[in-house]
Structure formats: C-alpha cells, structure tokens
Amino acid sequence: MIKNVGVIGAGQMGNGIAHVFALHNYFVVLYDVSQAQLEKALMIIRENLQRQLKKGTIQQNQIDSTLKNIKTTTELDAVVDVDFCIEASPEDETLKLNLFSKLDSIVKKESILASNTSSISITKLAKNTTRSERIVGMHFFNPVPVMDLVEIVKGMTTSEETCNIVFNLAKNIGKVPVLTKDYPGFIVNRILVPMINDAIFAYYEGIASAEDIDKAMKLGTNQPMGPLTLADFVGLDTLLSVLNVFYENFKDSKYRPCPLLVKMVEAGYLGRKSGKGFYDYNNK
C-alpha cells in the first residue's frame, strides 16, 4: 500500500504534484537541490490552496493538513523509505537517466519509480535501473491541482501490476487516468505539440498576428486558450525540448521545430516564466 510519496523536483510541476498527493492524505517528501526553490514551492502551494478554499473546493482544515503532510529536503537520501517516487525534473534525457540510476540505488527495492516526463522514453529510463518492471510514466498536466488528466505510460518492461497500482493511485488523488504506450509524446503532446509548432510557423511566416492566430483557434475550434498563449504558458524551452525528442525519434520533418521558436529560446524568451514570449507579461 502506498502511503509515503517522494517528489523529485520542486518546480512548476513538482510543487503541483506534491500539492495533490498531500491534499489526499499522502505524506510527501519534496526534494530539490535548491532550498530557495523549496521555499518558493511551499509558498505557491499555500497560494493555490487558498484559491481552492475561495472556490469552495476544500475546507480550511485541509489547508493545514496538506501543509503538514509535506516535508521538504535538499538531501536525495531522504526518499529512501517512500513507497512511490516520482521525478519532475527538467525535460532533459541525460539528467533523468542519471537521476533514475541514483534513485534506484536509494529508494527501497519494492517501491515504484515514476517519471512525469512528457516525451522521454520510459523504457530507456527503466533500463538504467535494476527494477525495470516497477518503472512507469505518470504524466500530469499543468496546473496540476486543476487539470484532471494523468497519462499512465507503460514501458516495454513495465509490469501490468505496476500499471494497475499507479492507475488506481491517480484515481485516489482525484485524477482521471488514461493508459498509453511508450512512444514519444504519448497521447496529448503527440497531438498538441505539432499543432502549437504549426501555429508558430504561421506566425513566423507572417500569416497573421499572434493575437489573431490565438483568437481564430479559440473561436474556430472552441479551445479555451490559443496555441501561442498556451506555448507561453507551457514554456518555450519545454516545447522546444519535446519537439527535439520527436524529431530525433521519428526522423520526420513534420516535427522540425520552427526556427523562430529556436531563436526565442536562445534569446531567453521562454514565455510567462521569463516575462516574455509571444506576449509580454512584464506589465501584467
């Protein structure tokens, strides 16, 4: 039975994952290399809990219990006794491979190790461990406390038992899980990311303004957010990383990142988190 959860990485996704597990009465060990990032994560979790309270989706006592359920640490060894450990590190294959190798040597052998990766091979991550049957993808969507969907990714060596445990775990924290095979992008990003890239190409080629591209897609396809706004929200660096994974794995030119996207990332225009992307957020 899973009671104790390790979350590796306290960034945008990691703090959200810690939030939902702690809210549903799991004890969470939240790890990050940066103490400042851990403090920021706790501040964001408090703010998001307050938003949920104002909306009437949780009670005051749940805020207190959720925060009590989270222990922060800069020591990776602190996750040694967790029953389930999920990494939410940056979308970098080498980083994740090294991290899984370290976690495999630290976390007790009967525990499941999961990745929140949006595009990197679960099968490849599993090969770097001695528990390949207990390695699985658990891909949350941003913002984690709000978005219902979780993709459960079955690698080539992931056991049915592991998939079933994590599938039910997602249900236990109020999410709606879907099962997907281990191919780049899984379900959502395999479809969504090329669409966003095409929108960037449309802007790059001068077909329309960013505002009109977003307006057209919102009103023409009933999407709540235009593709360029969504790109800024996701992070242009993350988007580029996913496209590069697609391009390298499929060797198909349709996944070629738009040159404008590459230049914007090189310039540090990463979207909301940097203050500027396709839109300027510094005065908002």
Domain membership flag for residue 115: yes
Is residue 119 part of the annotated active site? The answer reads: no
Q: Tokens 């990485």 appear where?
A: 9
Q: Which segments of the chain have a pLDDT < 70?
A: 284
Catalytic residue among 91, 119, 121, 139: 139
- Rounded to 5 degrees, what angle do the CA atoms 143, 145, 147 make? 60
Q: Are residues 225 and 165 in the same domain?
A: no
222 a catalytic residue: no
Q: Has 25 been annotated as catalytic?
A: no
Q: Domain boundary at 146, 181, 216, which?
A: 181
Q: Which H/E stretch holds residue 135?
A: strand 135-140
Predicted confidence at residue 283, as pLDDT, reads 76
CATH number at residue 206: 1.10.1040.10
pLDDT attached to residue 171: 98
- Please say if 139 is a catalytic residue: yes
Query: What pLDDT does 56 receive?
Result: 95
Catalytic residue among 151, 197, 241, 274: 151
pTM of full prediction above 0.85? yes
Could you tell me which residues are beta bridge partners of residue 149?
176
Of 119, 189, 197, 241, which is the active-site residue?
Answer: 189
Q: Which domain holds residue 36?
A: 4-181
Q: Is the same domain home to 171 and 215?
A: no
pLDDT value, residue 284: 58
Distance CA 260, CA 238 (A): 15
DSSP 80: T
SS3 248: helix
What's the rounded Cα separation, in Å, for the pair 17 and 121? 20
Rounded to whole angstroms, the Cα distance separating 189 from 184 reads: 8
Catalytic residue among 15, 69, 111, 118: 118
